[in-house]
Structure 1
Amino acid sequence: MSPGTIFFLPALLLLIATLIKVWALLKNWQDTLLRAVCAVLFIAALVFATAAPPVLALINEVTGVPNIAAPLVYCVLTAFGGSSIVLLIHWRGGEDEARTRRATRLTVAAYGAVMAALCALFALGDAPVERLRDLDTYYANTPYIREMIVLYLVAHSVAALTMLVLCWRWSRKVPGTLRAGLLTMAAGNVLTFSYDLLKYTAIAARWLGGNLDWLSTQVAFVMASVSALVVAAGFLIPPVGQGATSRLKALRRYRRLRPLWLEVRAAIPETVQAPLRWWAPMELRLMQIERDIHDALLRIGPCCDRELGTLVYGQAMERYADHKRALIVADAAVVAAAVVAKTGGGAGGSREPAARWAVSSTGNTADLMSMSLALAHPLVQATRQAAVPEGSRVL
């Protein structure tokens, strides 16, 4: 594997995550939180892209200044830490907007000052030998360069610990995918801080005359790659998870309403829009099927027999002694018989009954689903079979 591949791979994955969020942002450009998420993911991708040895060498060559890519990478890394904190502050929100603005300004000012200090320290120091992988340890004892290295690590550690504390505290107050995302980000920041500890250890070893450079050049990089991907996953889990949960709920409702839709489909006017294809968004398919059911129930309303409903309701009450359940079974039986009568399958064609039964299980989707499930009840099946003329019955 080439030296750049192990840097470009996480950069590519983070860039893909950025593009996914940008696609959502294009549909809702006014969402400031979504813009902040895109910025954080893009900066994370930029960290790995600029830290790749081939890119470092190119920057140094183009500028003609050995190791000038180092403060650039440190500044990008610092910007990532600061932007992550700002994102979490705005993500959490709260009633005190003034406090949120103050926290944001303080974070931006602090990390902006760190970035300015990193550039100043590099300008004051002397790093003539180009080091693409081990600059942290190679210049661990060089005046000003040493301070620059320690400063970026301290800023990085503060950001990781701040994110860890904020994510952990918030995760204890929220449920579902948001909690999962926060806990994932907390785990990612534990890995981030572990990266810093490895760097501190390797640098301290240099100060003491030892050599543990492999902790910085090998182990720490793996830790950084994993932590960046875990943190990015934490940012993506809530919106992706909430979207998946919403679609799953819509699918469940759709499947439970489908028996009722099939029951009343014959009463749906031919002018109504044809059912959407299977690849259409599930929310739209659910909306269409609910609309079709309500339209059909309105059309068969005059054929709903009150005498039949009262009879089935009494039979269901004898079985269950539960008013709600008995009413749903009665509604389902009346609807099944009314569809037969409305579509001309009954003996009397579309003759209206002496008194109409008011179908009450239409107030919300839950009631419709209950009535849909009740269509399989033996009382409903017997009622439907009795409504069909003898010559048309399926034996």
Structure 2
Amino acid sequence: MTAPSSPEAPWPVRTVARKVAEWIGRLGEVWVEGQVAQLSRRGAATVFLTLRDPAADLSVPVTCARDVADRPGLELTEGARVIVRARPDYYIARGSFSLRATEIRAVGLGELLARIERIRKLLAAEGLFDAARKRPLPFAPAVVGVVTGKDSAAERDVLVTARRRWPAVRFAVHHSLVQGVNAAASVIDGLQRLDRDPEVEVIVLARGGGSVEDLLPFSDEGLVRAIAACRTPVVTAVGHETDTTLVDHVADVRAATPTDAAHRVVPEIGEQRRLVDGLRARARHLVTMRVEQSERWLEGVRSRPVLADPERLLHGRAEDVVALRDRARRTLTHRVETAERDLDHARARVTALSPQATLQRGYALVQRADGALVRDPGEVGDDERLSVRVAGGRLPVRVDRQDGTP
């Protein structure tokens, strides 16, 4: 038994390689599913192939005896889906890992469909197919991205139909593989390139019809996730109307055919012109109705007497003004005359009650030097000087008593 490694006693490379080989050898036989990426029959007794994971960028070399690869009923070709019974092997001299196959089975159609269904349920559980993720397509996009096979019928259907419907549309076309082991990766690359282009407003993924095996790349898990990650709306048009792949579930819009995709992506110019003409006619009709309605209202307002002959109202009002002015004059005159009479009566009463009026009747006021009125002869003394006020003025007098009588 080898002692544990340490900085003082490290293992040599051969020891590490031998231990890795021993550990891998204890794994025993395993069943592996994958896609044949490369196939070489150059050896007389041994066949070399590369088995690729269909959902990840991983592959592993596989070797098998020729009789295993040439088993009757097995058509081993590049791109074929297979299930391999193999024993992991680590080649110490080169430090490489491989599988040594003892049995190879082709994946039947039922198994392929079952695998696709498992992937569909997995992605659906993650919410990638939810309707809330679907984005609306832009109206009349200026640039449409197209991912399709080079010189394919699908490419012609999309481009010719879209240009006929909307001549101003422009295309950014990415030619990719649409069949085979590298098709999914090629389509993913095209999608990502177009998604990064700021001018592309919608992407069409188009491919013509084919068998279930031919359309397998469009049920690739990696491709489905790439479409879900796109910021640009994606329209899929893969196969015929009856064909359904996993990309149809994740796309924002699924078109039955490439021609149908062109119909969904761009509007039809004739239809839009008819729509504009209809809207213009409707707007003209509504404006005309509003103008006519306003004209009728204006005519009705103008026919009213107050606007038809405004001076007519002034004719009758002039007489009213004269009458009111005469009435105001009479009222004011009557008020002034009444006030004058009241003033005369007040003046007469004041005059009648005035001390001056009493003096006019022959009465007189006797005042002492300090102005006090004399009401009793006993209040004054002899030789006291007094003032007598009569109607005509004042008279100074002196008290002169004779026989005690003033």
TM-score where L is the length of structure 2: 0.22
Higher alpha-carbon Rg:
2
The structure with the greater share of residues assigned to helix is 1
The structure with the greater share of residues assigned to strand is 2
TM-score where L is the length of structure 1: 0.22
